[in-house]
Amino acid sequence: MDFSEKQTIVCYIDKNKALFYQDVGGSMLQMNFPQNIISDQEFTDREKLEQLIESFLETNKLGKGNVIFIYAPDVTIEKDFPDELAGDRNEEIQKFIDMIPFEEVLSKIYKLNKKTKVVAVNQEIYESIKNVFEKKNFLVLGIIPSVVLQEVVAELSTNIDLAFIANKIYSLKQYSMGSNGEFKNENIKEKPSLAKKQNIRIYVLIVFAILLFILIILVTNLLPKNPSKNLPVVQPPISPTPSVPAVNPKSIPVIQPSTSTPSGSGTQLQ
**Nearest-angstrom CA–CA distance, 73 and 116:** 17
User: Which pLDDT belongs to residue 195?
Assistant: 47
User: Which pLDDT belongs to residue 198?
Assistant: 59
User: Looking at residue 113, what DSSP letter applies?
Assistant: T
Number of domains the chain is built from: 1
User: Which pLDDT belongs to residue 208?
Assistant: 81
Is 174 among the domain residues? yes
The answer for residues whose C-beta is within 8 angstroms of residue 95's C-beta and 6 or more apart is none
Per residue in 56-109, pLDDT (tens digit) is 999 998 878 899 999 999 999 999 998 776 667 888 899 999 999 888 899 999
User: Which pLDDT belongs to residue 140?
Assistant: 93
pTM of the shown model: 0.64
Is 218 among the domain residues? no
Is 270 among the domain residues? no
Is 149 among the domain residues? yes
The domain of 156 spans 8-195
Is 219 among the domain residues? no
CATH of the domain at 149: 3.30.420
User: Which pLDDT belongs to residue 221?
Assistant: 76
User: Which pLDDT belongs to residue 69?
Assistant: 96
Is 266 among the domain residues? no
Residues of the chain with pLDDT under 50: 1-4, 179-195, 239, 241-270
User: Which pLDDT belongs to residue 235?
Assistant: 54
Query: Do 173 and 141 contact (CB within 8 A), yes or no?
Result: yes
Is 190 among the domain residues? yes
Is 234 among the domain residues? no
